[in-house]
Structure formats: structure tokens, C-alpha cells
Amino acid sequence: MPPPYFPPTIASYLAKRVAGEPWSIYEPPSRTYSGAVVIPSLAEAANLPQTLETLARNPNDLLDRFLILVVVNQRANASSADKVNNHETLIALPFWKSEYQLHNLFWVDAASSGLELPHKQGVGLARKIGLDLALPLLDYSSGDPLLICLDADTLVQPDYLSAISTHFSQASAGGASIPYRHRPAGDEAGQAAIDRYELFLRTYVLGLQLAGSPYAFHTVGSAMACRASAYVASGGMNRRQAGEDFYFLQQVFKTSGVAELSGTLVHPSPRASDRVPFGTGRSVGDMLADGEGRLLFYHPDVFTIVGEWLACVQDNVEKDGLWLMQLAGRISPVLSAFLEQAAFSAAWDNLRRQNADVTKLLSAFHSWFDAFRTMRLIHELSDNVYPRSAPEQAVATLLKRAGLAYDDTVAGQLELLRTFQGGWD
């Protein structure tokens, strides 16, 4: 049998950047696939079978084309309960494979003694292990295979694989953000907390959209996908314990672009959790413990300043850095100080020297003033000029600016944004 074909970029990544030892796929498949769904799993024995069951409801012809790879993981210092739960998961996976007739379901043991994740590592590395191990099992002879990120407590719809496949058959961007809608919570307090958190995420993206930021897309770890070529071009998944989704899609955008997908929904869990320092579970847990005031929303005017700054650059590409700094000072002293600290003037002049073409110059600028720098500016403005507030005050203004209906309740605002951003039923 001839050796498998890998495009040069894939071969280079596999040789230099793959997660590698000591992890491997248990009884790996002997065939290749058009794509892979990678699912990190930490103490999810109760939830993972539900996720697998919803995946199994996708059409058989599509399921046959996709590898489903679960990465059961923990650190060596994990709690006894988590270790027992992961052991149960590893024992149960062969039964779930049979029960749900997921013939392409395989798994990685990153939980047993000697195979645990290193200290201070977490979901980022778990995703990377799965995505990297999936790469050599993809079929590159007939196209650009897909890599899909899912979570072990997230449910999908029967149109999940179809919508993703259709999107990438038509889109030019190498990455995709998949629409999501958190599942209902089990009680009123939990529902109020998850509604508020999802509204926070959606409001932030709306604000960026109104500002004209190219980073106005959701970065939810269980709701993202990319082509294999885009994955390796971005440098692969990072190893962050939290926020790995944000930084991954930011890098994919810079190297291959990110587009919003449509035609399906994923349904993340609404539960509280303390596994990571921030994110859904942590935010929900904080609100349940300390009240909804723990999560305040950005003032609408911070997005106005971001928008004015982005427009200023676009309208003055022929000007040097000092000129743009003067214009920034007229927009906001906080903006000017922020850019001064980031050495924007020198960075801009360097970008102009390297990019004579205006389109390439603006692309390079957005790689410099990226999603992380945008968020840092928003935090500076919030900390110094525009205090955060409750959503009832902050969100209505943004809805009005977007031409959406007025509503001053969290539930009502959330439904408006779900409809607007694709998080429909």
C-alpha cells in the first residue's frame, strides 16, 4: 500500500507542530475521512452519551465520511471524582459506539496514569491533541478536509454535518463560527444566569458589528470549524486552559478568514462550572453565587469609539502614524493613550512600508489591531470613562442602533439577538 498523501503544509505541520507522544488513538481506524469531529471530555460520563446520540441522528452517509474523536482528559492533580468519571467514560465508550452505531467513533486516553495532561494544561491542549491526531487520518486526495470542534456536553441537530459540509463547499473563508443557543436551565435562577451570559456574548458581537470590526463573530469552543489547510496555516490549536476558542479563531481569521455559518444550531450546556478561570460555566456559577450583578455589560459608547477609530484608519491610509495618533486623540484621550502604549505610530509606519497595496495594508492593520487588542481597548474605555452597567440599560441602545425592536428585558433582548444573529429555534 502506498504511503498516504499529505499536502506540503500538512506534512510540515505533522513533522514539527503536532501534539504527539504520549497520546494516540486507541485502536485507530484503517481508513481516511473527509472530516473529523473532535470532542474533549473531562468527567462527562453523564453527558457525553447524549452528545453522541444527537450526532448519531445525522444522515448515515455523512456520518460515514466523518471521524468522531473523543479526547478523555485530565491533569494528574484532578479530583478523585473526575478520575473515576473519566475511567467510567473510557470503559463505556465501546458500548456507546455500538449502541449509537457510530462506527467511526474513536477515542484518545489522556487521563490514565502517565497519559494525563501536564500541570496547568486543559481544554486547549485536549482539543489540540484530538485535532492533531485527526490530521493524518483525513483524505487530502479529493479536497480540503474539515475539522470540527464540539464539546462533550453540547447537543447537535440532525442537520449539523450537512450544514457544515454545505457551508465549506461554498465559502471562501477557511474558518467558521457555528450558530448556537444554550439549552434551558433546570431552574429559574439558572435560566436567568445563562440568559444573561448568552446576552452578554451576543451584545459584544453586535457592538463589534456596529463598529465595523472584522472580528464580529462568535468564538464558542463547541461551535467552530475550519478546513485542515486553515488549521495548519494558523499554527494549530493553542494550549490555553481557557479562551482557546477566542485565540484560535482570531488566528484563523488572520490567516484564512472566518465566516458565519447558517443552517444548523449547536446547543451548549447551561450548567455552572469551575473548571476554567472564565467562560460559560464560570460566569454562570459566579452569578448563581453572587447575583447577576457579577456580569455587567459594556457601555454602548465604547463600541462607538472603536468604530470611529477603525473608520479613521480606513479613511486616512495615506497618512503617517503621527497623523493618525493626532486623530485618535480627537476621538478619545483613552484611545490615544492606549495606542501610544502599544507603539501604534511606529507599527503603522512599518505596515505602510511593507504594504503598498491599500487592501493589504488594511488587512495587516486588522492583524495588528486584532480581536484581543480590540477587547483590551474596550476594557480600558470601560475602566476609565464608560462604566459597565446592567443589560437593561446598555443593550437597548445597541438594539436601536442596529435597527432592532426596543425591549428592556433580558429575555426579550436575547430573543431579538438570537433571531438577528442566527440563534433561532
Q: What is the CATH number of the domain that holds 93?
A: 3.90.550.10
Same domain? For 372 and 273 the reply is no
> Of all residues in the chain, what percent are helix, strand and coil, respectively (each to 5)?
50, 10, 35
Tell me the C-alpha distance between 67 and 31, whole Å. Answer: 10
Strands (E), 9-145: 35-41, 66-73, 105-110
Same domain? For 353 and 229 the reply is no
Same domain? For 154 and 16 the reply is yes
pLDDT digits (tens, 9 = 90+) for 41-61: 999 999 999 999 999 999 999
Strands (E), 193-332: 224-227, 258-260, 266-267
Q: Which amino acid is at 352?
A: R
Residue 292 domain-assigned (yes or no): no
Same domain? For 232 and 360 the reply is no
pLDDT digits (tens, 9 = 90+) for 336-379: 999 999 999 999 999 999 999 999 999 999 999 999 999 999 99
pLDDT digits (tens, 9 = 90+) for 18-39: 997 899 999 999 999 999 999 9
Q: How confident is the model at residue 294 (pLDDT cuts 50, 70, 90)?
A: confident
pLDDT digits (tens, 9 = 90+) for 121-168: 999 999 999 999 999 999 999 899 999 999 999 999 999 999 999 999
Same domain? For 225 and 83 the reply is yes
Q: Which three cell numbers stand for residue 53?
A: 446520540
Mean pLDDT across the stretch 107-131? 96
Domain hosting 367: range is: 300-384
CA distances from 149 to 50, 79, 153, 221, 390 (A): 16, 26, 12, 7, 32
Helix axes 300-315, 371-384, angle to 10 degrees: 130
Same domain? For 245 and 340 the reply is no
Tell me the C-alpha distance between 130 and 151, whole Å. Answer: 12
Same domain? For 224 and 348 the reply is no
User: Pick from 384, 399, 414: which residue ends a domain?
Assistant: 384
Q: What's the chain's length in residues?
A: 425
Q: Tell me which residue of 63, 50, 225 sits closest to 155, measured CA to CA.
A: 50
Same domain? For 28 and 77 the reply is yes
Residue 411 domain-assigned (yes or no): no
Residue 213 domain-assigned (yes or no): no
Predicted local confidence at residue 425, as pLDDT: 53
For residue 40, whether the previous peptide bond is cis, meaning omega lies within 30 degrees of 0, is no
Residue 276 has pLDDT above 50, yes or no: no
Helix axes 300-315, 321-331, angle to 10 degrees: 150
Residue 219 has pLDDT above 90, yes or no: yes
DSSP conformation class of 40: E
Predicted local confidence at residue 3, as pLDDT: 72
130: enclosing H helix or E strand = helix 123-134
Tell me the C-alpha distance between 358 and 27, whole Å. Answer: 52
Q: Which three cell numbers stand for residue 288?
A: 448563581
Residue 335 domain-assigned (yes or no): yes
pLDDT digits (tens, 9 = 90+) for 238-249: 998 889 999 999
Residue 85 domain-assigned (yes or no): yes
DSSP conformation class of 144: -
Same domain? For 275 and 305 the reply is no
**How many secondary structure helices (H) and strands (E) does the chain include?**
18, 9
Same domain? For 341 and 249 the reply is no
In the chain, the number of structural domains is 2
Same domain? For 170 and 313 the reply is no
Strands (E), 123-181: 146-149, 155-156, 175-177
Residue 288 domain-assigned (yes or no): no
With contact defined as beta carbons under 8 Å apart, do 86 and 42 qualify? Answer: yes
With contact defined as beta carbons under 8 Å apart, do 84 and 112 qualify? Answer: no
With contact defined as beta carbons under 8 Å apart, do 110 and 73 qualify? Answer: yes
Predicted local confidence at residue 393, as pLDDT: 82
Q: Tell me which residue of 419, 367, 347, 352 sits closest to 214, measured CA to CA.
A: 367
Would strands 155-156 and 266-267 be described as parallel, antiparallel, or unpaired? antiparallel
Residue 392 domain-assigned (yes or no): no
Mean pLDDT (the chain, rounded): 94
Q: Which three cell numbers stand for residue 258?
A: 472566518
Tell me the C-alpha distance between 67 and 55, whole Å. Answer: 12
Residue 171 domain-assigned (yes or no): yes
- 176 beta partners: 225, 259
Same domain? For 308 and 172 the reply is no
Tell me the C-alpha distance between 333 and 337, whole Å. Answer: 6
